[in-house]
Structure 1
Amino acid sequence: MKVPCNVIRDLLPLYHDSVCSPETAALVEEHLKDCDACQEEFHKLQANLLPLPLPVPGKEEQKAEGLAKVKKVLRKKRVIVAAIVAAVTIVLCYGGYLFLHLPIMGGPIESVHSVSVEEETGRLVVGLQPDYGGLGGLHLAAEEGSETGGTIVVLNSIYCLADPLTHFLQGTLSWKEEQVSDYYTPLTLESELRYGSIPWIEEQDEETMEAMRSSAESLFPGGDVTQVYFYTGPAWKAWDRDYVRNHLEDQCTLLWTAQDGVVYNP
């Protein structure tokens, strides 16, 4: 009985690997003697050249589409994560900046070591124990009907966390209590224009003074200075004009008046 080629081809791998029975091996060998087609299949098997299974039509395309979708989703997630990280970084940096620049403390009146007037330049000189914020000033027009009139200057020494940090990074942080720094406050518009508040700057010429006049006039809303105070109230209220004006008597110390001169003697 002649064995069909399909049966022989199913047996070829077993015959090739020598795992079939002697009877099956004999049957395959007998068939291979007379069948050129099965011999060719056997030679392919020996050379490991049997064709690979054909891909299922459309399967590779589906796989490519699936991978493209996954990549798209991952790309979106990366963009979202990057945007969130950037937003959080901006919020933290801005919040940290605001926190470091939040006014936290003002110098006490005891930090004022001397008060004098520089007659030649018309500037008030305040000797201040060194701190982190230096000396600032708020200029207020005296209320209408007041006896003195003119401009009221309220000095303050407010600092925030950024001030000692800046001094530390610059290598200028100092803890010497005996050291005193002088700060200059012009008492007239002419003094502001000609000398300013920085002692080592040379006297300005007439042309420069005229160019600065409009901006300097804003510092003297009521005319020349008639009173100078030192503010010792809450740090966060130091630049609130209405608050400071309403607390000149209880949260400020009078340093100088145009009528009496220096009235605070440390």
Structure 2
Amino acid sequence: MKCDVVRDLLPSYADRLTSGESNREIDKHLKTCENCRQYYQEMTGEGPEILPKADVKDAALLAGMRKKRKRALLAAVIVILILAAGGLWTFIGYSVGSSKVLAEDVKLSYGRKEDTAYLEMEPRGGAFEFSSFTEKIQDSSGNIIGTRTRLKAQRFRKGWFVKGSMGWKNEIEGGDYICEWVLEFSDKTLTIRNGKLISEKDTTSLPQD
């Protein structure tokens, strides 16, 4: 069936007035003739009842794209849930915290640079709280020969997004001057003097306050 004949019959075809044999011929022609198929779609605003092979391939392609979008959306939802869970865990861990602070929960850096001793503490996976008290060190004659700062761990707050570090610097006044930090954790007491670790005492067997 030629294009001009099909186009003459399309109005009747659209109104379902053509015979069964004509319908079959028109359907067959619309499957293979893109111009007539487009003419029919513009005339009626719809496509033929039976999609041509090219349209079937396009439909399969669209279905594959929809599956990919669904997988991407699912992955995004999973990431959001993981982040939300991490945020909740951080909030709970930071709000409540633990009064048991172990020495291994903190990364220590200490040393001496010329006449200055330094101490830095960085928590591992959270933030911590310390109480501090500084006292003068005197010799047998009552002369002040240094300072001693006691740092007692109070609370450790865990969390993915929680960060907090502490640092101290003290000037060493003379060759015999003492700059000492005493770090009291739940399991150990560390003494650092003039940038060197001089004592590490296990306190796990001692009663806790």
TM-score, shorter chain, exceeding 0.5: no
Higher strand share: 2
User: TM-score by structure 1 length?
Assistant: 0.28
Question: Higher helix proportion, which one?
Answer: 1
Q: TM-score, normalised by structure 2?
A: 0.34
Which one has a bigger Cα radius of gyration?
Answer: 1
